Structure 1
């Protein structure tokens, strides 16, 4: 039996898997003896984690979409709690996925194990009253957006801004010529990035609209080449959904290939979220679009308290990029905005200037990388004395 500290990690979706892998690497830089257990995806597996069960089973969102999965998710929650009870790790770190992660943190509270939640629930955007349920769920909250630290501290919660991980994504290091050469694209090809989402429940809602939009653009932008970067988790779903499209897309799953596509792109259509920050870092002019179950949308509209949905707009505090949501997520509207993005240099230049300004505010205090800053906070908690209670 080893005395090396054990950290139990949870990531429930592709973005959390990336964060988890970077965090594992950063923690080991400071403490090479650390061991890991928990739930993660392929990138965390590459970093040395053996996942309790496939992470893709947790990658679901939406108030209505989650209902058919509740029983299975409940069983998986029981399995996670049981493993933590058996292993008695020195620290538990949950990454994003608040629907599953916060339930897990509450269930394991009686064990007395220090708990960190990495990526704050976006209660500042909607259902702010939920913040009243957070005391006691974690010992430390690591947040990605600079305004979140003050928000949670106003509610009496210990929050630390550690910088946004998009700054480590290397989204701005792509090679346009390499992308064109790899995929045999001629110099006059006009590349459009389409990002329908990394979850199985997201992509099917946007893909039919994207396909119909491309049919409309066939004559308006005759040399258009759509590129869909997706996680391997949904690659097959996207391939099947696009088989009959009038303009067949390139589907890329490798991170380096995605970044090369960004460098070659003239514009992008993306769902809201971190993908907007990746595109901003790469300097790709964009519009944000999204469509969910109508019931989910109706409920969300009554609860949302922020003026914008796109992360870049929230950080810029203005409508820097167009948002076409729900009823506005239509093939004709999307086609019109793509033509503008592709043909109006002034629109692109205005966006790029705004991107550069907002990205400066996402840097971690002290000049560390976001992963190193997060690792420092986690290890500081690990080094504090505590007592694990019996079950």
Structure 2
């Protein structure tokens, strides 16, 4: 059995590696080819070209490389057709992956296609599912409410679990080590500041998050702010926080990040999958997010749900306060953080919602990579 896999982002590379491991466990003679990063390479993939060429975000990053990406789409589709795999498995990165799937299907109409990570049609642009169904047969969903949406568009779909459900979570010993290593006493409240991992969102959110935490310090003067970040934006974060009245402890090391999450009492975070990391670590949170004015206007017109926070959506609650667009202001966010510190009922409501979320995402069940592998094998062996 032979599969052609494409991942275009580090998160997709991790999903692809877990899927490859699951497929090899269930079908030891399986062969892989395609595009991926270091994690997929460790599972035996010889990438057609470096995955980093596809890790682009935003129109201004893509435009200068548009011609090159078009060549890569044609090259990749041609290789898919030449290799004649049992299925093409595309992993997230729909702008590149689905164009490859369409180009390959044009040349080989019978090609089976599987897409891993459903598009967020529950939030906005529901027409994307219908467009995707033109070139995708089967979807591997990581959120439990997505299969009916994909099936309604004409694709088969299995919920295979979210990686956060089986990711290792740091415990009390890690929390104690983190506090001791940074001179933070056990009784001092630790507040995480999580402004995102991309330069644009960090630039927009960090000033407002700084004002919010300054407001909160009037209520909790002894608190310690910890700002986990990634290498790509670490210099920007240090520069932007240099004049803050509340000086954050900035950590880049992944082990330090895990320790910080274990030690945290509260978090102010950008909207995104980080809410699931916080849920797995049982850290109560307030979510804030904003975009450039034009993007904010467009998304506001297209948004189909009253919340974008995954904990709220998966738990079917509204326990996590969120402040989006023009509502992303320091005063209301600081008040929401204060309430989580002072109101045991609000704090417990979040704890319950977070526990329910992680359970619904697959905690205690089979690993997502293995579940995804079973779904793939069913999809390629069952008649259309």
Q: TM-score, normalised by structure 2?
A: 0.86
What is the distance in 1 between the residues matched to 2:180 and 2:41?
Answer: 31
Cα deviation 1:96-124 (Å, max 9, x = unaligned):
22233322322222343432111100112
Query: After the TM superposition, which residues 191-206 of structure 1 pair with which residues of structure 2 at under 5 Å, given as runs?
Result: 191-206=190-205
Q: CA deviation at 1:320?
A: 1.0
CA–CA distance in structure 2, aligned partners of residues 86 and 151 of structure 1: 31
State whether structure 2 residue 123 is matched by structure 1 residue 125. yes
Q: Quickly say closer, same or farther: Cα 1:176–1:139, change in 2 above 3 A.
A: same
CA distance in 1, matches of 2:221, 2:346: 21
Instruction: Map 1:103-182 onto structure 2 (within 5 A).
Output: 103-112=99-108, 113-171=111-169, 173=171, 175-182=174-181
Alignment partner, residue 355 of structure 2: 356
Instruction: Note closer, same or farther for the CA distance 1:114–1:173 as it changes in structure 2 (3 Å cut).
Output: farther
Contact 1:95/1:119, CA 8 A, preserved across alignment: yes
Q: Which moved more, 1:196-205 or 1:309-318?
A: 196-205
SS in 2 for 1:201: helix
Q: 1:250 to 1:383 in 2, by over 3 A?
A: farther
Alignment gaps of 5+ in structure 1? 387-391
Paired residues, number: 377
SS in 2 for 1:159: strand
Structural mapping, 1:1-391, within 5 Å: 5-12=2-9, 14-49=10-45, 52-55=49-52, 58-60=55-57, 65-67=58-60, 69-86=62-79, 88-89=82-83, 90=85, 91-112=87-108, 113-171=111-169, 173=171, 175-363=174-362, 367-381=365-379
Gaps of at least 5 residues in structure 2 are none
Cα deviation, residue 252, structure 1 = 3.2
Cα root mean square deviation, aligned = 2.9
Taking the aligned partners of 2:285 and 2:144, their CA distance within structure 1 comes to 23
Shift of 1:74: 4.8
Kindly indicate whether the alpha-carbon contact (under 8 Å) linking 1:77 and 1:104 is maintained by their aligned counterparts in 2.
no
Give yes or no for contact 2:144–2:361 (8 Å, CA) kept in 1.
yes
Distance 1:199 1:385, change over 3 A: farther
Q: CA deviation at 1:84?
A: 4.5
TM-score w.r.t. the length of structure 1 is: 0.85
Distance in 1 of aligned mates of 2:302 and 2:342: 37
Question: What whole-Å deviation, never above 9, does each CA across 1:111-153 have from its counterpart, x for those lacking one?
Answer: 4343211110011221222322122322211111222111221
CA deviation string 1:49-90 (max 9, x = no partner): 555235375242xxxx42453241452342244145236442
CA–CA distance in structure 2, aligned partners of residues 114 and 201 of structure 1: 37
Q: Is the CA contact 2:214–2:246 (under 8 Å) kept in the aligned structure 1?
A: yes
Q: Is the 8 A contact 1:341 1:348 kept in 2?
A: yes
Once residues 342 and 43 of structure 1 are traced to their aligned partners in structure 2, the CA distance between those partners, rounded to angstroms, is 39
Paired with 1:74 and 1:325, the residues of 2 have a C-alpha distance of 35
Q: What SS does the aligned partner of 2:291 have?
A: coil
